[in-house]
Structure 1
Amino acid sequence: MRVGVVKLGAIGTAVLLEYCLDEIARREDIDTFVISSGSKIKPEILEDIKGENFDLLIITCPNAGRILEPEKLRFKIRTVVVTDSADKEWLESVECGYIVVKADSMIGAKREFLDPTEMALYNSYVLGVLAGTGVIRLVQHEINRALKEDYIPKVVVDCWKAVEFGGFSNPYAKAKAMAGYVIAETVSKLTTRACFVERDFERFVLLCATAHEMMRIANALVDQAREIEKSNDTVLRTPHSKDGGILRKTELLERI
């Protein structure tokens, strides 16, 4: 099967998405092809792939509800949009599938604050939250199901949905992961204000810094949750088999 991944701009879920579908490069059932517009969001590149023969097309884009008009998503092939934000009207109007990850909050994109180092650090925090809470596993399962069945996901990921896939056996670990997700989810309120509303220099710089500190703490909480699971030898692992099936183990020294 041919899987196309189109990355418009940047969201945390997109950074390692194609690798999450084949983490040790051993799957024999899929080939993955990636096209990206880099940090700029250019929906027009969707026109370049309309002649491609994919079995599944995955489009990642921040704020898809405002950027991707429903009529531009009418491909002949099954399509899934992965985004951080989309309103109810957009979700009900699109014919394609979607995975909306609320905790994948916008970065503090102000020149006076953001440089390549800060950008990389922020994305490492976001990835920690997404991986540790269960979002990456949710994406893994939803995309795999779309590849194996006549199915497209329509999922909005809140803290409850995330930890459902987190596989936590300890309730304190689950609570810490949920706390991290909720904090990460609220980060975009500050970065949106900093980038598009606040005009005072000191205020918008401090808002960006505050938001990034919140994401760092969210990641720290999620890391603590994983450490609890490690101490009990109950960390859930779901690797892919060669045929693309999803395996499962919890004990570190358990064979699969």
Structure 2
Amino acid sequence: MAQNQFKKIGIFKCGNIGTSPLVELLLDELADRKDIKVRTVTTGSKMGPEDVEDALPKIFELNPDLLIVISPNTALPGPGKVRERISSSGLPGIVISDAPGKRAKEEIEKQGLGYIIITGDPLIGARKQFLDPIEMAIFNSNISKVLAMTGVYRIVHQEIDKAIYAIENEQKPDLPKLIVDLKTVRDRSEFSNPYAKAKAIAAYGLAEKIAEINVQACFMEKESEKYIPLVTCAHEIAQTAARLAEEAREIEKCNDTVVRKPHAKDGKLKVKTELMLPPVSEEDFSG
């Protein structure tokens, strides 16, 4: 693809979920794709309407060909404003959110946007008596491990890649309408060993449970002696989930069956399993 034919991908981060820090890097992990340029605008950790109003115009100044908004609970007023603006722009857009975002699914579809709702990208234990910058970083690193090693990040970048390929070929993209739940991990994770797959499913199931516990701890319990043990419990579960996900990948490593799918310079995915062999096109891959 010629240098002047690249497509611009705009990513608007409204607040933070576990997928947020790495989402743009999933599209160009080697920093050598020639078919796209990715630009990101963020509101930081805050996600109120005033934060959106300040930051959102900047993403449109970049003249993107595809817009992605990623936020906790896309049904909230701040992320809702982002969706409205993307919908009214006429640009293709994809919403990435966590389990509470399921409440906005029908509205997202009416707005003509795609969505990837990740039920195992859980709410953090946001209580001042517990959460500090280091605890926040540890939690997010554990969740990133779970989402990476269970195959969720693979699903995210493949769904976005599909939209990019369609736009590059001057076609209307078939935007994703996907809730990534336990069944999705079971059916779309790329493990050859059944025990590895079972461990990955278990890790994702634990991540879903973290969300339930932290919702109770952050929004329902009012007394510190009740909510502090709960948020602590949830973060301990996150560490255990990350360990399970690592065990799943270690099994695949021992069998030399880890699936790797790097992007080629033209944006197409290559694939390999055996460590010492080069990646090949998906059409030429025999498994």
Contact 2:74 2:101 in 1 (8 A): no
In 1, the alpha carbon distance for the partners of 2:61 and 2:28 equals 25
Superimposed CA distance per residue, residues 3-52 of structure 1 (whole angstroms, 9 cap, x where no aligned partner): 00110001011111111100010100000111011111133233443454
Contact 2:15 2:71 in 1 (8 A): yes
Alignment of 1:24 onto 2:30: yes
2:3 maps to which residue? Answer: none
In 2, the alpha carbon distance for the partners of 1:199 and 1:90 equals 27
In 2, the alpha carbon distance for the partners of 1:236 and 1:163 equals 16
Alignment of 1:252 onto 2:266: no
Contact 2:41 2:58 in 1 (8 A): no
Alignment of 1:56 onto 2:66: yes
Contact 1:137 1:165 in 2 (8 A): no
Which shifted more, 238-247 or 46-55? 46-55
Q: How does 1:179-198 map to 2 (within 5 A)?
A: 179-198=202-221
| Runs of 4+ residues over 6 Å off in structure 1 | none
In 2, the alpha carbon distance for the partners of 1:50 and 1:235 equals 39
Alignment of 1:138 onto 2:144: no
1:37 maps to which residue? Answer: 43
What amino acid is the match of 1:158? D
Superimposed CA distance per residue, residues 120-161 of structure 1 (whole angstroms, 9 cap, x where no aligned partner): 000010000000000010011000001011221111001221
Alignment of 1:175 onto 2:198: yes
Superimposed CA distance per residue, residues 81-134 of structure 1 (whole angstroms, 9 cap, x where no aligned partner): 110034555212222111000000000011110001100000010000000000
Given candidates 117, 126, 140, the residue that maps to 1:123 is 140
Of structures 1 and 2, the larger Rg is shown by 2
What amino acid is the match of 2:84? E
In 1, the alpha carbon distance for the partners of 2:206 and 2:194 equals 18
| Identity of matched residues, % | 43
Alpha-carbon deviation of 1:181? 0.2
Contact 1:66 1:86 in 2 (8 A): no
In 1, the alpha carbon distance for the partners of 2:97 and 2:267 equals 24
Alpha-carbon deviation of 1:194? 1.2
1:155 maps to which residue? Answer: 178
TM-score by length of 1: 0.95
Alpha-carbon deviation of 1:72? 4.0
Contact 1:198 1:204 in 2 (8 A): yes
Superimposed CA distance per residue, residues 214-254 of structure 1 (whole angstroms, 9 cap, x where no aligned partner): 11111111111101111110000010000000111111111
Q: CA RMSD in A?
A: 1.5
2:170 maps to which residue? Answer: none
Alignment of 1:77 onto 2:87: no
Contact 1:134 1:165 in 2 (8 A): yes
